[in-house]
Amino acid sequence: MSTYYKFRGEKSILVPEDKLFPQSLLEIPKPPKCLYIYGNPNALEEGISIVGARCASPYGLSAVKHFGSIASKLGICIISGGAYGCDIEAHKTALYNHGKTVVFLGSGCNMPHPVKHIKIYQEIIDRGGAIVSEFPWDMPPLKSQFILRNRLIAALAKVTFVVEAGLPSGTFSTANYAIEYGKEVRTIPGSINFSGAMGCNKLIFDGATPIINDEIFLYLLNKTFGVKSSLLNKKPKVQYGKKLGFSGNPILEALMAEPMSAEALLNIAKQKCKKENPYSWLSKMLIEAENSGKICKYKDGRYGPVVS
């Protein structure tokens, strides 16, 4: 379902001969014949693409927010597809940090998809970003077009960051294109019990380097884009030997590993509550864990970790 919508802003069409047509898009086997753009045509920079599952868990979304903020603040353009879940979260993070962002649509620009994101797209245009499509203005969103659009995301960006993907996943096509075009692919690992993380874990198995903390991410950005951050040390360190202190909350510790339902947590509560009523003890620990910002309630009713 799509509606016809005309964005307010500069309208332009780029062909390969134009100066502003991104070079990286010409270097792929089947380059786009034409780019239809709403917004600033200069916005198409070779930035970082952040992609992931549409049915993202709070862990995935928080990871997008966290790493997306770091990239945005360093002036790196965030490229994605505007889809539900990780994509739109990436664009929102860029807007929130007054950074740059570009949306590649799987439909013509006058039939934006999904319809719910039209307001955000308009704001991206207003703030100097761009909504781009290789399909003619009035082309409706057809399924086959989304995979084609993914190749452009992978092509424009210097590095593709897959935040959360299950198996099978549409996000994989973007990662596969990136590899095909010789671009870097990065991902973050998830719990091996969580089906939503299986795609990312498989990418790591297939050789993608995992991003496991801020420093490694900053090192990647420095290497790829030449940006320097005051937070960056000379070499990225995974801190050995420093044991992270026990937080005093066994529920928090359990949930940092993987999402669990309250019923499953009750078993832990019954062991650790000593003389106190296990239900009271469990709820206090849960509230405390939520307050710490490291845990939240997922959409499916389980509690689980969040990147903070």
The reply on whether position 257 binds another protein by CB under 8 A is no
What mask, x for binding another protein by CB under 8 A, covers residues 88 to 117?
--------------------------x-x-
* DSSP-based helix, strand, coil % in the chain, nearest 5: 40, 15, 45
Q: Shortest approach of another protein to residue 305 CB, angstroms?
A: 11
Regarding 287 and contact with another protein (CB under 8 A), the answer is yes
Instruction: Decide: residue 290, CB within 10 A, 0-12 exposed, 13-18 middle, 19+ buried.
Output: middle
Helices (H), the chain: 23-26, 58-73, 86-96, 118-126, 143-156, 171-180, 198-205, 214-225, 250-257, 262-272, 278-291
We find the least distance from the C-beta atom of residue 66 to another protein, in angstroms, to be: 10
Residues 142-171 interacting with another protein (rule: CB under 8 A): none
CB of 80 to another protein, least distance (A): 15
Using CB under 8 A, which of 24, 62, 80, 150 touches another protein?
Answer: 62
The answer to the question of residue 266 lying near another protein (CB under 8 A) is yes
In DSSP notation, 55-102 reads: S--HHHHHHHHHHHHHHHHTTPPEEE---TTHHHHHHHHHHHTT--EE
| Contacting residues toward another protein, per CB under 8 A | 54-55, 57-58, 61-62, 65, 84-85, 114, 116, 195, 261-263, 266, 276-277, 279-284, 286-287, 290-291, 293, 295-296, 298-302, 306
